[in-house]
Amino acid sequence: MKAVVLTGIRQMKLTEVPDPVLTSEQDVKIKLSTIGVCGSDIHYYAEGNIGSQVVEYPFTVGHECSGIIVEVGKDVNNVKVGDLVVVDPSVHCGTCDQCLAGRPHTCRNNKFLGCPGQLEGCLSEFIVMPSYTCIPVSDQLNAMQAALIEPLSIGVYAVKLAQMQHKESSTAILGAGPIGLSILMKLLADGVPNIGMIEPLDYRLDRAEEIGASWLVNPNRDDVEAAVKKQEELLMDIVFEASGDQQAVDNAIKILKPGGKLVLVGIPPDAQYVFNMDLMRRKELTIINVRRQNHCVEDAIDLVVSGKVQVSKMVTHEFNLEETPVAFDVVEGYKFGAIKAMINL
């Protein structure tokens, strides 16, 4: 089959590799339909690692995908050949303390699609996965919507972890990339009013406004704290950080009110943030870390099926598998108004 492999920093090529085969009677083989290019894929492409997870070349990335089931093991009964499926990229053991505590996303033996040292990714024609990772959506979603369920589920999970006490909470999001927009869409679907978006790229602010953000701040032009005060004199109850940027974290701490919550979703490039402890302590801020998602895939599917979320609004570019290197270059360079690029097979 064809697969796109990373061969070095900012180097990738389309190549021929053996088809993956079922390794258990619970496995299914999936012919990929649509694959999303994720910010984490871009980190592996441009930097060769995320924190301690280092790429050993050649390696295939990609974890946001939908596809058609083409083969099933004898013990598979949740999907059948021909089904269009959403693929949850997380494979867990089911027996460790984390799995038993209902936390498969932090499974001690977690294997994640397209994560170095774990599983080869989905930027290829076929993958094999345990059938429990597949949710059939044939008559409910198209292939692109189905591939966007993974990033949307992270937004759904971030909002769930924030445990908003009431809809009138003042809320802002830092970063209008695919995850920031997913958080925005989930908050809007929940009926949260007056959501602010803070983002340095004007074309991304425009997209956030189209989707439904009530007020916009560009930190390259405006003093963020002053601009937020104009919107909400008493500042924010909840701030979602979805950029992985130190300056955004600094701003988040400034614009939270005492007792506020900072939800960290973005991945910082060098695994470290500095927090202003004077402000954090005086305001008694709560920090919530988000690790991918836990049990939010079905919720994300429901939001799209019901029409409450139009998830494809985050998509700006579409490519075919051969054009994957172009897609990565466009996304990494924020070229041509890129937010979310999809690869169609």
Give the footprint of Zn ion on this chain (CB under 5 A): 38, 64, 92-93, 96, 99, 107
User: Minimum Å distance from CB 93 to Zn ion?
Assistant: 4
Which of these, 239, 229, 101, 265, lies nearest to 173 by C-alpha position?
A: 239
32: Cα separation from own chain's centroid: 19
SS3 label, residue 325? helix
Nearer to Zn ion, 46 or 96 (CB): 96
SS3 label, residue 7? strand
Nearer to Zn ion, 285 or 342 (CB): 342
* Whole-number CA gyration radius for the chain: 20
User: Minimum Å distance from CB 113 to Zn ion?
Assistant: 10
Nearer to Zn ion, 90 or 131 (CB): 90
What residues contact residue 280 under an 8 Å CB cut-off, 6+ apart? 253, 287
User: Minimum Å distance from CB 103 to Zn ion?
Assistant: 8
Nearer to Zn ion, 59 or 285 (CB): 59
Nearer to Zn ion, 109 or 165 (CB): 109
User: Minimum Å distance from CB 278 to Zn ion?
Assistant: 35
User: Minimum Å distance from CB 344 to Zn ion?
Assistant: 17
- Tell me which residue has tokens 């021929």: 16
CA distances from residue 54 to 44, 48, 49, 115 in whole angstroms, order as listed? 8, 6, 4, 9
Whether 57 and 8 have beta carbons less than 8 Å apart is answered as: yes
- Partner residues linked to 90 by β-bridges: 112
Nearer to Zn ion, 105 or 204 (CB): 105
User: Minimum Å distance from CB 329 to Zn ion?
Assistant: 18
User: Minimum Å distance from CB 247 to Zn ion?
Assistant: 23
Strands, DSSP E only, in 51-183? 53-54, 64-72, 84-87, 90-91, 111-112, 126-130, 134-136, 171-174
Q: At what angle do helices 297-305 and 178-189 cross, to 10 degrees?
A: 70
Nearer to Zn ion, 128 or 149 (CB): 149
Nearer to Zn ion, 144 or 285 (CB): 144
Which of these, 115, 122, 125, 25, lies nearest to 75 by C-alpha position?
A: 25
- Partner residues linked to 319 by β-bridges: 343
Nearer to Zn ion, 192 or 345 (CB): 345
What residues contact residue 214 under an 8 Å CB cut-off, 6+ apart? 193, 194, 195, 196
User: Minimum Å distance from CB 256 to Zn ion?
Assistant: 26
User: Minimum Å distance from CB 326 to Zn ion?
Assistant: 19
Exposure on the CB side of residue 92, measured as CA atoms within 13 A: 21
Which of these, 170, 246, 326, 16, lies nearest to 343 by C-alpha position?
A: 326
